[in-house]
Chain A
């Protein structure tokens, strides 16, 4: 066989050489490939020492091998394998075999026999393990072949008795991945084998090597993942493994127990050393809880995580996890939680504590104290106090999941969660706040708990405060004092961190609408009204006063008696706020006042449909304009655009849609206007000046099309086609204008060719859409394509001009949902009169805080632009971590922008705005590559290009007053 092989190889080799001589230059790539196997063979024969051979193999492994030549290569490798004496070379060959069998499209069953044969004669343990690994790869490549798998499993079983752990490891892994899982298909043989597999693996749970034990458990888990139902008998074995000396074994065992508890939650297991029996899931829960105080933190994290997903556990066991009995000198002591609760229920407020307030009370029977918890006792108490924050986070997550499924548990774990608000690591605090929010519909906060929660409002981390605001949005407070306390703390927060304004108002909005009855008795106090005296009117611009009003107005929405308590100016303020902060202040039915808002706002909703209809109607009208004279068309377009823009302002839901269509119509309008310019009729030399409008129009259309393509989320390919079509038209226009204005033909050649390439690209990209574009510009153009390619530039221009004029206006189909990307810079506000002073040449950091809506992938696209008064522009790449994602479609950018400049004589304003960068390569259609060279952070760009190519400004610019001072010497 070997001789035959060699012959084949040499044949191949010689063949290749010949072909290389024939046409080396053109088809080099394809032809050198088959030579690989031959070259390898030659190399390996040349190799004098094992080290050399290894080197050759390593080099060989770096290059990919094509599917056709894999088999040949494998044969050669095997041949060398038989001859090779050195174990390390054999090992490398074995690993190469595995790699090669992974090649896509190669069916490895042909080499399986050889691989199994080699196993029989192999002595080295490492090579054996590697060969088994190869077999595993082969087996994994052949999922449809049960007999092969059976054979491989048998081979693996044979080698399970090997004395090396590595070999046993691989065998178990192989059995786990390939062992039969189908039960009951073929009853006799198959199920027998399936049972065998579990038994075989189970036997290795007691292997002397921890690595093999781990592999056995992992193999078992693998079988489970592949759909085999594990037997319950394994449970007791797995429990024994929990006490293993090695952490990886314990970690895997915890997982196995969890799997079993999910499989057989209701079966009954006996408790050792007593006659009682409990449900398996409870027993497993207890065991996993026990592992929360394991010596290794990896196991602790694992255990804590798994606890969260054991929802079938009975509530009795669940509540034990929070149990911890305190004692001091053998006398029972109450926990701080219990004391707080008692204080609360007895109606007292916590006074300054005396020494010994927590003095132990009753004596404890020494026999009754259980120091080592059996089962679930105090698992979470331990987990939450763990020294590793990974464990604490896992425990908080588990608490969250369990509390979501059990309201009574939620109530109980509240104290512990509140405690976690003071953890030393911010992530843990944040996680526990989020957890609390998730379970907040199950719980009501006690006053003392609320107190602790509110104390965190002073945290300097913005994330924490905002998370807390969100938590407060959905908490239930039990008393009116609680509401008052919350309000006071929030106002304190507001004065300390004025930037939290929006978030606090929003929080109070929900707080008010959730607790109208609790707010009601507080109203006079909050508005500081007096039964007899008129009180001074508060300042309307005070954020704190607005906050109070937001709370009250939202409460008044569902509490009709409340407005009676308002004083005159409150009504006036209401009207003002309803207009200025309509998202925070709800419409109210106010007595004796015919406020416009109360009349209009309820009726807005039914309007929704008509406005949509209106949108469609006006579009219909536009699309039928062909019958009108040019003047009429222009007017109609202008009016429709105006209507649409107004509609967008009125109806926020339709804004995206209306803007989108308006932009499209605007493009069309520009195109029509440009085509009607006089310049087309005048003789060439005369209109040099007049072309300005046309070329400007072309430029603007280009810009608008980019906006349409990249600024709206929800744009589908149907729209993209139309947009690109419009862009193509604009380019044609550009070409015509240039052709008319420039003298000489040379520059035109290049332009024409480029344009034709673009038409070609358009056709290639949107081939499927072309049938929909009957009578359009591109349709006509493609008909004329053969002529265009051969004709001179001047002719091309002529043809283009006529087609542009004759082509029809394409309908723009509207997608379901369309949103325009918007950005709003919250900070800097641009109101400050105090310039930001810094020494010239040094940098100053400017905090930028902005909300982004409907921006896809903001990390990649949103940039900050800074424009200096001297026209210098800076483009800044915010870090990906600066973007937060508070909700679907919404993003928040909180970043710092570094400014620097040479010295100025007086303070001046710079402009800060956000840009949306796009790369037209991103869309499949365009071949144009924008100058997207803003590689790192800062880059000065020439001021003339205001809307930088490749970016769209999408926020209002904010002016910041700065003053670089000259450096003092």
Chain B
């Protein structure tokens, strides 16, 4: 097992698995923090100048976040790979939108060359094979894969990879607690030889989601009642939809009239797919969509730049999520001066962004052109994150009952703690490879032997009733062919 990325690190997920002679690449992500070659995984590492298609049997993408699929066009078109790429239907639908958006930002805005083109994204998507949940896909005669529901974002899946009687489960990112639009990850007792799990929140146990939701709603509600405006900077996909659902149902329940706006563009396209992939959402949305599709928002309308100056209360979702540029920042500048207004940051903010500054309590901001912006509006922070916490990870391990666990997608120090815990609680060995490190796990493969039915019946008839799960001794001659 080789980690080309995401070993003891978040971002740039890319894992290479060799299982019983088959090579599978799990995820093909990019690092958002870098703008040079380091942003993509080092693919030359895989084959040492051979052809990728010959070496890899298949590529599996767990979900549409760029740190899991961002390098895909680069990998398939620029480096060159023609084999099958597997992902779920929603991922296949949404992934190209995000890639295109990302390409636009890097190429059109920052003016970078040597980057993949729109055509490359299209070509790449042609190589994708979409899979359903719990559908066993036979990649070739020996290799089969199967997707399980993972929560996290729409279409996120965990994959079981099986060759003969050896199997690996790769979780991708997953979430064990259900939220407003997605259910919880689930896997059966498949007892894989190895479970590759993310470990973003290896050392965190989170509080109940309800308290956070209640706080969030209460704050929005109070501000709106006071006649204030609420700004919620979000990233276009994922949490944004969850918060929309949350507010939408709350508006519905409480019979509120204040308008909610959503900045247009990318989101509208994505919302369309959310409407289509109802089967991937949670119980409530699945059950009620016959009456009304929850993503057909009644109260949430598209935002127009002119609306920001409208009087009266309103709630606006705007991108991007860290207030560093774009529409959210524009609106923020307009509204910051009024203490009735509020900005709610639903996620983490990188250092240096306006979001980070106001969250750390700065009330006077220096904008471009020496302007000083005084922030009088209330600033709130709410964490809505959809990764499994330490308990969730343990719960998944308990459900799947693997023989070995391998942790990726997390920080080394935190993983160390979780590793200890896993070894202590489940008595299974646990690994946490760094980038580029290869871990080899020995399995005890069972060898299937054909036996004639007559012999089997005769043998079983002799002794007592075959006992469950206990080996039974049989006498016969073993013939080995072509070996």
Contacts and interface: CB of A to CB of B under 8 A. Distances in A.
Interface in A339-371: 352-356, 366, 369, 371
B212 A336 contact: yes
Nearest to A244: B189
A296 to B, nearest CB: 9
A680 B253 CA distance: 71
Interface in A482-505: 496
Contacts of B469: 208
Interface in A877-918: none
| Size bin of chain B's contact surface | 35 or more
A381 B209 CA distance: 11
Contact of A327 (B178, B203, B361): B203
A161 interface: yes
Contacts of B207: 324, 326, 333, 335-336
Interface stretch (A50-58, A451-459, A858-866): A451-459
A330 B417 contact: yes
Contact of A206 (B254, B381, B468): B468
A337 interface: yes
Contacts of B380: 352-353
Interface string B409-423: 000001001001100
A677 interface: no
Contacts of A388: 283
A387 B206 contact: no
A206 B467 contact: yes
B462 interface: no
B211 A372 contact: no
Contacts of B188: 295
Contacts of A817: none
Interface string B198-209: 000001111111
Interface stretch (B165-173, B308-316, B318-326, B394-402): B394-402
B431 interface: no
B334 interface: no
B208 A381 contact: yes
A336 B215 contact: yes
A245 B189 contact: yes
B229 to A, nearest CB: 16
A425 B204 contact: no
A539 interface: no
Given A329-B203, A354-B361, A389-B284, A208 B395 contact: no
Interface stretch (A393-401, A416-424, A638-646, A776-784): A416-424
A324 B420 contact: no
A731 B217 CA distance: 69
B180 A326 contact: no
Contact of B253 (A324, A333, A419, A460): A460
A386 B178 contact: yes
Contacts of B255: 458, 460, 496
Contacts of A161: 465
A330 B398 CA distance: 22
A385 to B, nearest CB: 6
A689 to B, nearest CB: 63
Contacts of B211: 335-337, 419
Contact of B214 (A207, A324, A422): A422
B33 interface: no
Given A459-B253, A460-B253, A326 B206 contact: yes
A207 B282 CA distance: 37
Contact of A372 (B184, B379, B394): B394
B417 A295 contact: no
B394 A452 contact: no
A207 B470 CA distance: 11
B351 interface: no
A328 interface: yes
Contacts of A458: 253-255
B205 A452 contact: no
Given A355-B359, A371-B394, A419-B208, A387 B184 contact: yes
Given A355-B381, A371-B421, A371-B425, A455 B210 contact: no
Interface of A: 161, 163, 206-208, 245, 293, 295, 324-330, 333, 335-337, 352-356, 366, 369, 371-372, 381, 384-389, 416, 419-420, 422-425, 452, 455, 458-461, 496
21 contacts: A295-B399, A326-B206, A329-B204, A335-B208, A336-B211, A354-B361, A354-B381, A355-B361, A371-B391, A372-B394, A372-B398, A381-B208, A385-B208, A386-B178, A387-B177, A387-B283, A422-B214, A423-B210, A424-B180, A452-B214, A460-B254
Given A328-B204, A371-B390, A385-B177, 20 more contacts: A324-B205, A324-B207, A324-B208, A329-B204, A330-B414, A335-B211, A352-B378, A353-B215, A354-B361, A354-B381, A355-B360, A371-B205, A371-B425, A372-B394, A385-B178, A387-B184, A424-B180, A424-B284, A455-B221, A458-B253
Which 10 pairs from chain A and chain B are nearest by CB?
A: A387-B178, A336-B211, A208-B468, A355-B381, A419-B210, A355-B359, A460-B255, A458-B254, A387-B184, A330-B203
